[in-house]
Amino acid sequence: MIISTNKRAYFDYEILETYEAGIELSGVEVKSIRAGRINLAGSYVLIRGNDVRLLNADIPPFQPQNTPEDYDSKRTRRLLLNKSEIKNLIGRIHEKGLTLMPLKVYTKNRKIKIEIGLAKSRKKADKREFIKKRDMERETGRKF
């Protein structure tokens, strides 16, 4: 079941490949995500050494009155990938203009997963083309 999607990433970037990763969370964060309270807007993925990290993803507390005082909703979270996938990503990241973006958060067999995409930034003209194509598809859908 899809919990949240990063619509802005699909618009601003052309997604070349996708990877499924686990995410290291605390119990408060798991409850909050299952309730649908996660914001991926403005978040991104970095690789430091052999660790893949999710930065700037906002997960507000499930019950604000009962959360620890030192809880940070935008803390850096570790993503869980295989070593071979991490090595592949490190090689691909060094290509010109490629970045890692979080795309979706969903549940799979009661576990919370995140889909990250290897993306290339779209130029302004490409975004205009994308908008025109989307509008044309919408118009043809209305006619029939």
pLDDT above 90 (res 23): yes
Sorted by where each begins, the domain ranges of the chain are 2-143
Note the pLDDT tens digit of each residue in 99-137: 999 999 999 999 999 999 999 988 887 788 888 888 888
pLDDT given for residue 97 in this prediction:
78
Does 2-143 carry CATH code 2.40.280.10?
A: yes
Say what the pLDDT of residue 5 is. Answer: 92
Question: Averaged over 8-28, what is the pLDDT?
Answer: 90
Residue 51: pLDDT above 80?
yes
Which are the contacts of 114, defined by CB distance < 8 A and separation ≥ 6?
Answer: 20, 21, 22, 23, 54, 79, 102, 104, 105, 106
